[in-house]
């Protein structure tokens, strides 16, 4: 009689390769998506279709993924074949039979394109902030304008926040996945086991001190990501006004006076460390806190839990799709410090997007990510 593991392996081997496209492959997250998909075992029968962003005038023959991202040369399952980057065109997607469209595009573009993709029967995994937020007050920071507000509101209502550890079941059948932000992923995964268990003293508030590498700001250079500004420096920014704050409020069911989040820019290329301070309602032991985390993340292969008092470090998660969590509980049994680390371009962006695709397609959640 076949074992459960053998049955799962056989099922995975029999799954058909989905037809996928990536719009916006020129950016950091788009490049990581290309790398993951080109090596993904589930893509062995059908290479992804790579597309530029709106306004990019890439010649269909002249631009390749390997030219945009030279480190991807030769990694494809098809050997040394190059992969053209096409201009974005809806007829091209239809002609290629695309079933899933990754959008590594600015939020304005994603907000415009997602309704068209859904109307054409294409499922969307959007890496921007265009569809992450349900409440108008939280979404206002993106200054979105919808050509058809009624249709946008309908799609917003069905959009699924793409955190598999929280919404795995809804992701399986979703037409529109809103990939979480990088900062918010690190903090939501650290806090969800505790807030959902109702053990946090919210009257005392939660403080999130998070630091990110420069790639979190995107590929387009700014005065704050210039080498002369970022190198040998550490700076806070967007205090009380960061775009990811609304995700914390909605996903953790908090109010703005119950949590403070301050982001900082680290002089490193990639990686996030979030240090979170809170108090527990009741006197608790470290074993009880550890049990809450272990039970919550049972069956979540992309979350690694460190035994207390060992704490995660950025160097251990860079270029992986893991989120590493650790904590230290004070002797009083009330004061708790949690440390969460992840790679902002992978678990905070492209890797989590592929993790969502795996759930949607019936692959193992960690397929192509280890």
Q: To which residue do tokens 């704490």 refer?
A: 311
Measured CA distances, 240 to 198, 260, 312 (Å):
25, 7, 26
pLDDT tens for residues 148-207? 999 999 999 999 999 999 999 999 999 999 999 999 999 999 999 999 999 999 999 999
Residue 46 has pLDDT above 90, yes or no: no
Model confidence, pTM: 0.93
Residues taking part in catalysis: 182
Q: Fold identical between 4-179+350-361 and 182-342?
A: no
Task: Give the Cα separation of 269 and 305 in Å (integer).
Answer: 24
pLDDT tens for residues 200-212? 999 999 999 999 9
Residue 229 has pLDDT above 50, yes or no: yes
Among 3.30.360.10, 3.30.450.20, 1.20.1090.10, 3.30.70.270, what is the CATH number of 182-342?
A: 3.30.360.10
Report domain extents, the chain. Answer: 4-179+350-361, 182-342
CATH H superfamily, domain 4-179+350-361: NAD(P)-binding Rossmann-like Domain (3.40.50.720)
DSSP secondary structure, 225-288, as one string: TSHHHHTT--EE-STT--TTHHHHHHHHT--TTSEEEEEEE-SSSS-EEEEEEEEBSS---HHH
- Whole-number pLDDT of residue 1: 37
The contacts of residue 250 (CB under 8 Å, 6+ apart) are 133, 134, 135, 138, 161
pLDDT tens for residues 87-99? 898 999 999 999 9
**Looking at the chain, how many residues does it have?**
370
pLDDT tens for residues 268-317? 999 999 999 999 999 999 999 999 999 999 999 999 999 999 999 999 99
């Amino acid at each position: 009689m076949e074992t459960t593991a053998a049955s799962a392996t056989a099922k995975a081997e029999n799954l058909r390769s989905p037809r996928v496209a990536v719009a916006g492959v020129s950016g950091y997250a788009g490049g990581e998506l290309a790398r993951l998909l080109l090596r993904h075992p589930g893509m062995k029968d059908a290479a992804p279709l790579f597309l530029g962003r709106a306004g990019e005038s890439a010649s269909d023959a002249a631009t390749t993924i390997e030219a945009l991202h030279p480190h991807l040369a030769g990694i494809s399952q098809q050997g040394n074949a190059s992969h053209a980057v096409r201009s974005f065109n809806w007829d091209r997607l239809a002609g290629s039979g695309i079933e899933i469209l990754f959008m590594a595009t600015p939020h304005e573009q994603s907000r415009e394109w997602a309704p068209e993709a859904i109307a054409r029967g294409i499922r969307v995994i959007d890496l921007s902030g265009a569809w992450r937020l349900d409440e108008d007050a939280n979404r206002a920071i993106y200054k979105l304008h919808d050509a058809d507000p009624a249709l946008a509101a309908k799609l917003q209502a069905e959009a699924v926040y793409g955190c598999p550890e929280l919404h795995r079941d809804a992701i399986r059948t979703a037409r529109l996945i809103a990939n979480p932000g990088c900062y918010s992923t690190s903090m939501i995964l650290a806090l969800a086991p505790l807030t959902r268990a109702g053990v946090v003293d919210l009257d005392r508030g939660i403080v999130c001190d998070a630091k990110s590498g420069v790639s979190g700001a995107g590929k387009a250079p700014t005065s704050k990501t210039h080498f002369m500004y970022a190198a040998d420096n550490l700076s806070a920014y967007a205090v009380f006004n960061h775009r990811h704050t609304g995700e914390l409020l909605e996903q953790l069911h908090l109010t703005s006076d119950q949590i403070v989040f301050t982001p900082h820019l680290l002089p490193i290329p990639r990686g996030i460390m979030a240090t979170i301070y809170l108090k527990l309602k009741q006197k608790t032991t470290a074993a009880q806190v550890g049990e809450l985390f272990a039970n919550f993340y049972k069956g979540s292969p992309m979350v690694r839990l460190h035994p207390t008092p060992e704490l995660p470090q950025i160097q251990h998660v860079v270029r992986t799709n893991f989120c590493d969590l650790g904590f230290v509980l004070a002797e009083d049994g009330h004061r708790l410090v949690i440390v969460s680390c992840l790679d902002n371009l992978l678990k905070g962006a492209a890797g989590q997007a592929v993790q969502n695709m795996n759930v949607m397609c019936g692959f193992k959640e960690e397929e192509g990510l280890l």
